[in-house]
């Protein structure tokens, strides 16, 4: 697993430590248990655990034999497949419901506009204005939800991520001039839809810029590209980091749920849409807090086979003030 010392996994209060202690005290054997482990860098790993006591004959237990297996990738794949199935079912169910909602809202809005056109005064005119305002707000939420729920038609054309990242950096730098946005590392080609991928990265970088806009010394957002080679080809990893206040621990597990938001004027669909786009491209997106402060969102995408061989492993730096 690459752990240099037992203290990296046997921490006070951890589930693994509890299992080891129970094995030492009662001689209980644990087979194929699963625990979650947070690395010193804050990354969460899923471990498979088998623990057996060590003793000779009927003598007192002198130690334990602990076998750890890193199941993080397998767990992520299972979650990805389940999410795809859930998204497909959600799309079929919600598309019809949302359509009926929009029809009803259009009717309410139409009547409110007719009332507003009458020569009214006082409370009646004010009520008509409020009805129009609320129907617009609800229509916006329904429209955003439809974007999330409806199936995406993802192409299979090679998409050059370097150009996509350059445009995202430029757009956010223009929209948030007080935040320093930069890109570094290596960005290759992935198969998919350029528009959807740009939308996903734009949402992530915009959220990061908004989170750190009030940071002492100025907000900073970084996009770092890494190419990981493996037996099954290559993987593009994109890390979006910021120097903001980070994410509340209670909210980390809810970030990608539809309608979950910490913003007063947010719909709670931005990150849900990001996750859907990335999953539909065969990848995954995760969020965690950094030990040094701020948050990091990690996007992983499978690379095009030919692009992996052709990519030049050199660092490209794009920096805007």
Q: How far is CA 121 from CA 17, 115, 116, 117, in A?
A: 71, 11, 10, 11
pLDDT band, very low/low/confident/very high, at 229 (cuts 50, 70, 90) = confident
pLDDT band, very low/low/confident/very high, at 113 (cuts 50, 70, 90) = confident
Mean pLDDT across 232-253: 89
Closest CA to 287 of 301, 302, 275, 305: 275
Q: What is the distance between the alpha carbons of residues 283 and 299, in angstroms, rounded to a whole number?
A: 7
**What pLDDT score does 311 carry?**
43
Q: What is the distance between the alpha carbons of residues 287 and 240, in angstroms, rounded to a whole number?
A: 9
Task: Write down the domain spans for the chain.
Answer: 6-70, 75-149, 157-320
Of the chain, the percentage scoring pLDDT greater than 70 comes to 77
Higher pLDDT, 81 or 312: 81
Phi, psi of 145 (to 5 degrees): -65, -35
Q: What is the distance between the alpha carbons of residues 213 and 222, in angstroms, rounded to a whole number?
A: 13
* pLDDT above 50 for 283: yes
**What pLDDT score does 200 carry?**
94
DSSP string, 103-124: HHHHHHHHHHHHHHHS---THH
pLDDT digits (tens, 9 = 90+) for 30-43: 887 887 777 666 66
Higher pLDDT, 11 or 57: 57
pTM of the model: 0.60
pLDDT digits (tens, 9 = 90+) for 1-13: 444 444 555 555 5
**What pLDDT score does 77 carry?**
67
pLDDT digits (tens, 9 = 90+) for 152-186: 778 788 999 999 999 999 999 999 999 999 999 99
Domain formed by 6-70, architecture: 2-Layer Sandwich (3.30)
Among positive and negative, which fits the CA dihedral 9, 10, 11, 17?
Answer: positive
Q: What is the distance between the alpha carbons of residues 299 and 239, in angstroms, rounded to a whole number?
A: 6
Higher pLDDT, 73 or 317: 73
The answer to whether 6-70 and 157-320 have equal CATH topology is no
What's the chain's average pLDDT? 80
Highest CATH level, class, for 157-320: alpha beta
Q: What is the distance between the alpha carbons of residues 315 and 228, in angstroms, rounded to a whole number?
A: 14
Find out whether 206 and 175 touch, Cβ atoms under 8 Å.
yes
């Amino acid at each position: 697993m690459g752990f240099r010392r037992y203290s990296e996994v046997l921490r006070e209060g951890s589930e693994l430590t509890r299992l080891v202690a129970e094995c030492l005290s009662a001689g209980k054997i644990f087979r194929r248990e699963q625990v979650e482990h947070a690395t010193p860098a804050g990354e969460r790993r899923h471990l498979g655990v088998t623990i057996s006591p060590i003793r000779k004959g009927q003598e007192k237990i002198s130690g334990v034999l602990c076998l750890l297996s890193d199941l993080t990738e397998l767990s992520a794949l299972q979650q990805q497949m389940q999410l795809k199935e859930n998204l497909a079912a959600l799309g079929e169910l919600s598309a019809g419901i949302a359509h009926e909602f929009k029809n009803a809202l259009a009717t309410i809005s139409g009547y409110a506009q007719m009332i507003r056109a009458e020569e009214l005064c006082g409370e009646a005119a004010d009520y008509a204005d409020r009805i129009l305002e609320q129907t617009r707000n609800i229509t916006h939420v329904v429209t955003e939800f439809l974007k999330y729920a409806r199936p995406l038609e993802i192409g299979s054309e090679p998409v050059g991520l370097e150009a996509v990242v350059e445009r995202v950096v430029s757009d956010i730098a223009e929209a948030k001039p007080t935040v320093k946005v930069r890109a570094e590392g290596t960005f290759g080609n992935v198969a998919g839809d350029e528009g959807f991928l740009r939308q996903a990265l734009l949402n992530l970088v915009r959220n990061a810029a908004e989170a750190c806009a009030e940071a002492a010394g100025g907000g900073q957002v970084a996009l770092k590209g890494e190419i990981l080679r493996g037996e099954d080809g290559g993987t593009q990893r994109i890390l979006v980091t910021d120097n903001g206040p980070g994410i509340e621990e209670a909210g980390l597990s809810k970030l990608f749920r539809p309608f979950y938001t910490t913003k007063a004027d947010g719909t709670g669909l931005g990150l849900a849409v990001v996750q859907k786009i990335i999953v539909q491209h065969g990848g995954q997106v995760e969020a965690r807090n950094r030990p040094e402060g701020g948050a990091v969102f990690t996007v992983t995408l499978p690379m095009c086979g030919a692009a992996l061989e052709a990519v030049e492993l050199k660092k490209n730096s794009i920096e805007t003030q």
